[in-house]
Structure 1
Amino acid sequence: MFTFSEKYHYEKSIVINAPVEKVWQHANSMEKINEWNPWMKLDPNMKKEYSGVSGQLGDEFFWDSKQDDAGSGRQKIVEIIPAKKVKSQITFYRPSPGDAVAEIVLMPEGNSTKVTWSLDSEMKRPSNIMKPMFDYFMKKSYTEGLDELKKLSEK
């Protein structure tokens, strides 16, 4: 437990065969991100509410699910650089309270776009020994989400 840091970072990248401007259309607001966000599929009856101006600082999403794997919380855009980056603050209410920062970064690669999706949070001891298992689940979810973003962007 003491060999694992309390800081947690996960990131995954994908190259999408579409220009940055086209990919940006699917990553520029909370509502657009949720079109490919894999956690939105966990509960078809999840309550969802958006507030603020879509695609601007303060664009915010609240969710509430009766299912523990989806839980409840809010995600708010705290930094936006058009066609380059969206940074959001996530607050989890249930089942495990906590905070995280997520980033979606777009980098042109010729006629394609490299998308890097990352998450930073803290895992207090003794929970930090779960990092390898958490990495496994994050890899599965991030792969699913980025593959869906790729499908949407390459249409």
Structure 2
Amino acid sequence: MKILKYLFFLLLIIIIGSAIYFGTQDGSFDIQDSEVIAAPPEVIFNKVNDYKSWENWGPWKKEDPSISFTYAEKTSGEGASYSWEGEMSGSMTTTKVIPNKEIHQDLMLKTPAGERNNKVYWTFEEMEGGTKVTWGMKGEHTLIDKAYYALSGFDFETAMHQMNQSGLEEIENEVLDDMKQFTINVDGVTQYGGGYYMYTTTVAKQDEVDLKMAPLMNEVFGFVKKHNLNTAGKPFAIYNEIDNANNTVIFSAAIPVKEQVITPEGSPVVCGYMEPVTAIKISLKGNYKHLSEAYLKGRQYIAENNHEIDTSRKMFEVYITDPDEVPNPANWLTEIYIPIITTPQPAEIGL
């Protein structure tokens, strides 16, 4: 009996000692990982902000294929939430959002030892080459958790870093794939009304047009703003002369205006006028780098439908969306116009 009492007291001392030991260990944690993704902050933010996308890039489904997700009525922005059932169930709620900069979330996990509640946070920092995305979680380990990690040898911090890094890599893959999406549609024969426009012209290598277009367009925008001119449509580019032998192109960056503008002699920005034109219209939704494919499809349509390109008129493209306002290239919309020769009607030829 004395031996049993001794063993009991010894076990009690071990339990109390262990509790005191693990209780004095710092259980707070703040684990974060970062990745620089070659995309604008808004594109990545939108991906993370909507819980419906988490099922696609989240690393947990690889760990637990049986997991199932339930979405609340609101899945993005402050107050959004979703939950899941699996080997470890839980839920997440967005508590704070600073658009394109920060997201804060409350995470609840149901573990065999009870509920665990942690804080999850995201930051999106624009920098050269893309956006630095940081994914972190902070909280406090319970006494049971600290004892379990110590006795089992489970490295909680390493496991969290691995999960974060896997998730960030999947987000990067999804975002880059999304940005590559594009569609080209040949809309057919259309009438373009023409009108006055302000423009400036330069020459460039064909593969350098994109680099020169932005500063050229900014120059025209600056002129229009400085002189308080009334615009009459979306900005566009006119291809005045294409020299395939020398790989050069003379093009103009232009902005439509409501009336003729007389500019002083020597002004780099001048006023032009486009006559109404019949053209084949091609719509490109996607990055400008796909413009050559769009022109090719337009020319194929012209050949297949026995139209003839009007070489006396210039091809032009209208930029419906502003990249500064629509950061995802997959959502850029450009309208391309290739002028064609129309068959004169009897009245036009004096019959």
Q: Output the TM-score relative to the length of structure 2.
A: 0.40
Q: State whether residues 38 and 131 of structure 2, in contact with CA within 8 Å, keep that contact through their aligned partners in structure 1.
A: yes
Q: Structure 2: where are the runs of 5+ without partners? A: 1-21, 178-351
Greater Cα shift, 133-142 or 3-12: 3-12
Q: State whether residues 72 and 95 of structure 1, in contact with CA within 8 Å, keep that contact through their aligned partners in structure 2.
A: no
C-alpha displacement at 1:84, in angstroms?
A: 1.1
Q: Deviations over 1:95-119 (max 9, x none)?
A: 3421011011100012400001000
1:118 equivalent among 112, 132, 136: 136
C-alpha displacement at 1:44, in angstroms?
A: 2.5
Paired position in structure 2 for 1:87: 104
CA distance in 2, matches of 1:80, 1:34: 20
CA distance in 2, matches of 1:50, 1:20: 25
| Structure with the larger strand share | 1
Q: State whether residues 106 and 120 of structure 2, in contact with CA within 8 Å, keep that contact through their aligned partners in structure 1.
A: yes
Q: State whether residues 75 and 82 of structure 2, in contact with CA within 8 Å, keep that contact through their aligned partners in structure 1.
A: no
- State how many pairs are aligned: 151
Q: Which has the larger radius of gyration?
A: 2
CA distance in 1, matches of 2:45, 2:144: 39
Paired position in structure 2 for 1:148: 170
Q: State whether residues 48 and 61 of structure 1, in contact with CA within 8 Å, keep that contact through their aligned partners in structure 2.
A: yes
| Structure with the larger helix share | 2
Q: Structure 1: where are the runs of 5+ without partners? A: none
Percent identity between matched residues is 23
Paired position in structure 2 for 1:105: 123
Paired position in structure 1 for 2:48: 27
C-alpha displacement at 1:64, in angstroms?
A: 0.8
CA change 1:77–1:52 in 2 (3 A) is farther
2:74 equivalent among 37, 53, 58: 53
C-alpha displacement at 1:57, in angstroms?
A: 1.7
Greater Cα shift, 131-140 or 100-109: 131-140
State the superposition RMSD in angstroms: 2.0
2:100 partner SS: coil
Q: Output the TM-score relative to the length of structure 1.
A: 0.86
1:134 equivalent among 145, 148, 156: 156
